[in-house]
Structure formats: C-alpha cells, structure tokens
Structure 1
C-alpha cells in the first residue's frame, strides 16, 4: 500500500485510545514527573532515575544486580548502563558477588551518601510541594493504585 492510499484509523478510535489508555496516561504522567524531579536534582548532577537507584543502594548489604533491577522495574542491561556514570563519579562501587563471582553487587560509597543526604533534602521539599498541589488523599491513593498494577 502506498503512502498516499492508506486509510487512517477512524477519529473515534484515536480519541477513545487517547482518553482511555492507561499505559499512555501513565507514560505521560511519568514523563512530567521525571522532568520535574530531573530539574530539582540537576544541581546534584543526578537524574530522577539515578536518585532512585542511589536510594535503593542505601542499605548495609549491597543487593545483587538482578534483584535491584527487578525492584527498580528495569532490565539488568539498562541498570548496568545507568550505573557506569555513577561509578565513574565515585558514588557507587560495582563488586563481585561473594556467593557467585559471575554476578555483581552495587554498593553506595561515602561520597554517594554525602551527596544523597543533600539531594534527599531537596527531593523531600519538592515532593512535599507536589503533594500539596494535589487534592487531599490523591497521592496516597495514586501510590496504592499504581502498586496494584
């Protein structure tokens, strides 16, 4: 079929998908939230994704890469790529897993903790401002409903 002879989807179909698609709505909201928190975290040289990763590493025993990827909802290869700039900055270490030398674990460094203390304070202020913009109870209901997915 040539480009000049194909028929577009009916307008009603497009509007129905636009107005009802949960995936599209979640993607649009996620992008808006990501931009908002990327802006807040920019002075720390972090994206919102890197911030979430660093928060997840704030534990005494470093998690295996696979478990961390699952927690963050990422593919292990995507997580590996996200780790590289943070490791270069000395904010985290990539270590062999003592139980399985083929696997890797991630550990936050002292410099990473120092950065995260300041970044978490700014995140907290920005998050409180965001929740204050929403009707009462909306943020809690949204977290609950998203967790159900």
Structure 2
C-alpha cells in the first residue's frame, strides 16, 4: 500500500511495514520549511544569476564583509558559526568564490592552523553589484507576502536559528515567552 502526500512526487514513498497509519497524517515542520527555503532560494538565485552568483554565495560575501574588522578578516570558523553551517560545507561553498577571484584565504598569523577569508577588490565590487539585485528580489518577496507576514516569517526564522530555540529543543521544553 502506498501513501500519497501533498509534498509532491519527489517526496512520496511507499508506506514502510509496521509504521502506524497515524504517522502519515502528521505535519512535518522540517519538510515544509525546506520546501519554502528551496522556493525562496530559487527566486534569489535567479536574481543573482546574471552576476554568476548563487544566493548562498552572496550570503557568504556579506558575512565576510560584515565580520571583517579594521584590518582583520574573519576566520572560517567565525563565518561557519554565523551561517550555521559545518566548516566542511563552508570550505566547499567558498571554492568557487576563491576560484573566481572574489575571496582569498590566508593563514591566520596568530594560529597558522586557522584560515581567514578576505574579499578581493573584485569580490567587493561583485558584492556591491549584487546588493541591488538582492534588494529587488527581497522587495518582491516582501510585496508578495505583505510586510506583516514577511516580518513574522523573518522573526520566526530568527527564533528557530537562535540558541534559545536550540536549548529549549534539547531540554524538551516549550520556549518561554512564546
């Protein structure tokens, strides 16, 4: 017997033996959020495509710029922590930016085992070009959702990404004040 879901054919699968029928009626927050982020990611990727960037790469350029302090570039660990990704995923994502001359990686002078990332002049120029494309895409999303829904979505996403949420999840308790 096969169960159909409204998630689409790619996410439908046969019902495993021994799984209670009630399981298949449960809402999956993870799947819903992943579908939503894939959709938004496609829209922002389309906006960045003429510049040869993906939205995730734009986010990395922004993070490197934001984390850079007077003459001191961020470490890869700092960037990974900001983006909530594993260091291996970050190094993989940085490869095309390094290859295209937008980012340079340097050993940390204080800890030669660590690397620091810096925007090149070309990287900074590409980031400046990308900001207007991002703003247009972001404005269209805001208009489509309406400002109240868009603000609520960002607030919810920030909450889920927070240490407060992670602590509550790990302890098995509801969020306080929510």
Taking structure 2 as the reference length, what is the TM-score of the superposition? 0.74
- Count residues in correspondence: 141
Structure 1 residues without counterparts, runs of 5 or longer? 1-5
Corresponding residue of 1:3: none
Corresponding residue of 1:112: 123
Report the Cα offset of residue 10 of structure 1. 4.8
Query: Which shows bigger deviation, 135-144 or 119-128?
Result: 135-144
Corresponding residue of 2:169: none
Higher relative contact order (CA 8 A, sep 6+): 1
1:49 matched to 2:60: no
SS in 2 for 1:74: coil
Distance 1:66-1:13 versus aligned 2 partners, 3 A rule: same
Report the Cα offset of residue 63 of structure 1. 0.8
Corresponding residue of 2:135: 124
SS in 1 for 2:147: coil
Corresponding residue of 1:86: 97
Summarize the alignment of residues 94-105 of structure 1 with structure 2, pairs less than 5 Å apart: 94-105=105-116
Structure 2 residues without counterparts, runs of 5 or longer? 1-15, 161-178
1:24 matched to 2:34: no
> What RMSD in Å do the two structures reach over aligned CA positions?
1.5
Corresponding residue of 1:7: 17
Taking structure 1 as the reference length, what is the TM-score of the superposition? 0.88
Corresponding residue of 1:144: 155
